[in-house]
Chains A and B, each alone.
Chain A
Amino acid sequence: MTSLASTAPSIAADKPRRLWRNRIFMWAMLFCMFVAFGTLVVLLVDTFITGWPAVTKQLLTGLPSTVPAEAGARPAILATLYLGALVLLFSVPIGVLTAIYLEEYANHERWWNRLIEVNIQNLAAVPAIVYGILGLAFIVRGIGVGRVVLAGGLILTLVVLPTVVVSSREAIRAVPDTIRQGAFALGATKWQVVWRQVLPASIPGIATGSILALSRAVGETAPLIMVGAITYVAFNPTLLGPYTALPVQIYNWTRQPSADFQVLAAAGAIVLLVIVLSMNAVAIFLRNRYRRQW
Chain B
Amino acid sequence: MVSEDMTQMESPRIDSGKIAEVSHGLERSVVERRDKVFSVSDLRVAYGGNIALQDVNLDVHKNTVTAFIGPSGCGKSTFIRCFNRMNDLIPGAKVSGTVLYHGEDLYGRDVDEVEIRRRIGMVFQKPNPFPKSIYDNIAFGPRVLGMDGSMDERVEGSLRQAALWEEVKDRLKDGALGLSGGQQQRLCIARALAVEPEVILMDEPASALDPISTTRIEDLMHELKRNYTIIIVTHNMQQAARVADMTAFFSVLVDEDGAGRRGILVEYDSTTKIFTTPSDKRTEDYVTGRFG
Interface residues of A (CB under 8 A from B): 107, 109, 176, 178-189, 192, 196-197, 200-201, 292-294
Closest to A292 in B: B131
**Which secondary structure characterizes the binding site on chain A?**
helix
Comparing B36-44, B115-123, B253-261, B263-271, the segment that makes contact with chain A is B115-123
Contact of A182 among B115, B118, B128 (CB under 8 A): B128
Q: B192 near A185 (CB under 8 angstroms)?
A: yes
> Is B6 positioned at the interface, with any CB of A under 8 Å from its CB?
no
Interface residues of B (CB under 8 A from A): 84, 86, 89, 91, 114-115, 117-118, 121-122, 124, 126, 128-132, 140-141, 144-145, 177, 188, 191-192, 195
Most buried by B among A179, A181, A182, A292: A182
Closest-CB distance, A191 to chain B (whole angstroms): 10
Q: A187-B117, A188-B144, A294-B177 are in contact. List 20 more A-B contacts (CB 8 A).
A: A176-B128, A182-B129, A183-B130, A183-B140, A183-B144, A184-B89, A185-B117, A185-B192, A186-B117, A186-B118, A186-B140, A186-B195, A187-B118, A187-B145, A188-B141, A196-B140, A196-B144, A200-B131, A292-B177, A294-B131
Q: CB-CB < 8 A to B86: which residues of A?
A: 181, 184-185
Closest to B127 in A: A178
Q: A182 near B188 (CB under 8 angstroms)?
A: yes
Q: B192 near A109 (CB under 8 angstroms)?
A: no
Closest to A108 in B: B91
Closest-CB distance, A134 to chain B (whole angstroms): 36
Q: B144 near A186 (CB under 8 angstroms)?
A: yes
Q: CB-CB < 8 A to B89: which residues of A?
A: 180-181, 184
Closest-CB distance, A175 to chain B (whole angstroms): 9
Closest to B115 in A: A187
Contact of B130 among A179, A184, A187, A189 (CB under 8 A): A179
Complex CA distance for A249 and B272, rounded to whole angstroms: 85
Q: CB-CB < 8 A to B188: which residues of A?
A: 182
**Cross-chain pairs A/B with CB under 8 angstroms, 21 sampled:** A109-B91, A178-B126, A181-B124, A182-B128, A182-B191, A185-B84, A185-B86, A185-B122, A186-B118, A186-B121, A186-B141, A186-B145, A187-B145, A187-B195, A188-B140, A189-B114, A189-B144, A196-B140, A197-B140, A200-B131, A292-B177
Closest to A175 in B: B131
Q: CB-CB < 8 A to B191: which residues of A?
A: 182, 186
Q: CB-CB < 8 A to B140: which residues of A?
A: 183, 186, 188, 196-197
Closest-CB distance, A206 to chain B (whole angstroms): 15
Complex CA distance for A185 and B122, rounded to whole angstroms: 6
Q: CB-CB < 8 A to B129: which residues of A?
A: 182
Closest-CB distance, A9 to chain B (whole angstroms): 44
Closest to B129 in A: A182
Most buried by A among B114, B121, B192, B195: B114
Q: A178 near B144 (CB under 8 angstroms)?
A: no
Closest to A193 in B: B144
